[in-house]
Structure 1
Amino acid sequence: MLIKIIVLIIIGIASGVVVAGGLFAFITTIGVINRLATHTDSADKIHLYEDLVVLGATLGNIVILFQPSLPFGIVGLIIFGIFSGCYVGCMAVALAEVTKVFPVFTKRIKLRTGTSYLLLCMAIGKALGSLYQMYFKA
């Protein structure tokens, strides 16, 4: 029985390492951190950003796995929601930029101006859809 538990622990840790490695390789490949550091003129702090991403992922895994009671209240929930939304938005925009979705899309629909409005409307739609799903459990 003890050997079975030890094998399960090893498989669980190995699987977690593989999934985390794949996620961080994906984030590195699409260049989210590099692009944000370039746009904010803080490329000298790139190692700090990378460390914070790893720390955030680790803390997020601990919260999901052990589900501790976090006494942050509604204000903490709002702040967490804002940061989570920023992360998901940056990831989606970086992925779309890497795959060159928007240039191809705007070329096909013959859109000459207003690309920024298109992106803004997509972001607002994503936010409203998420709120609808959260409040109405659709």
Structure 2
Amino acid sequence: MKLLLDGLLVIVGLSGGFAVGGGLVAFITVLDIIPRLTQLTNSRSYIRAYEWALVSGALFFTVLDFFSLSFQLAELVTALVGLFAGVFVGTLAAGLTEVLNVFPILAKRLSMTDFILSFLMAMVAGKMLGSLVQWLFRL
């Protein structure tokens, strides 16, 4: 019975991983996120570096997570890693919003076109506050 339950957990875990991985690949590929990021940052000549960085980072952190590896790094190094991770997520979100024109559409539908700057600043402040609360209180 335990072997059957363990096998079921393996199947569910792998299925979830494949679903999330497939969704991420579809998200990045279909929406042309990396080419759009290189266009926004005027770094089109580095498109292969962006692609290799994305694949290498995903593979590296998957191996770290899979084998439960951890590192004891200095606070400055940890802060730099966090900064780079935040920049990556921010530019990915910026690329997505540029591709989909999310904010202008949302502001128009909510009749907030005059307040779009305030809307964006509220979103940024909320994200920063939430991240700080999570980081400071280790929630």
| TM-score of the superposed pair, with normalisation by structure 2 | 0.71
Unpaired runs of 5+ residues, structure 1, are: none
* 3-state SS of paired residue (1:27): helix
Residue 90 to residue 130, structure 1, CA distance change in 2 (3 Å): same
Assess if the C-alpha contact under 8 Å between 1:37 and 1:43 holds in 2: yes
* Cα deviation 1:115-138 (Å, max 9, x = unaligned): 345323312220111211333355
Amino acid at match of 1:20: G
In 2: Cα distance, 1:36 partner to 1:29 partner: 14
Partner of 1:67: 68
| 8 Å CA contact retained: 1:30, 1:95 | yes
Unpaired runs of 5+ residues, structure 2, are none
Deviation sequence 1:71-122 (CA, Å, 0-9, x none): 422112111111221222233333344443311232233423x634532331
Partner amino acid, structure 1, of 2:111: I
1:43 is displaced (CA, Å) by: 1.1
Spell out the pairing of 1:22-61 with structure 2 (5 A cutoff). 22-61=23-62
Cα gap change, 1:31 to 1:136, in 2 (>3 Å)? same
- Contact map agreement 1:30 1:94 (CA 8 A) in 2: no
Deviation at 1:61?
A: 0.6
Give the partner amino acid of 1:109: S
The alpha-carbon distance between structure 1 residues 93 and 73, as it changes in their structure 2 partners (threshold 3 A), is same
**Shift, 1:62, TM fit:** 1.2
Q: Is the partner of 2:113 in helix, strand or coil?
A: coil
Do 2:37 and 2:92's aligned partners in 1 also have CA atoms closer than 8 Å? no
Deviates more, 1:89-98 or 1:38-47: 89-98
The answer for the alignment partner of 2:128 in structure 1 is: 127
Which of 111, 114, 124 is the equivalent residue of 2:113?
111
TM-score (norm 1): 0.72
| 1:95 corresponding residue in structure 2 | 96
Which residue is equivalent to 2:84?
83
Number of aligned positions between the proteins: 131
Which one-letter code corresponds to 1:111 in the other structure?
A: T
C-alpha distance in 2, partners of 1:97/1:38?
11
Q: Cα RMSD between the aligned structures?
A: 3.1
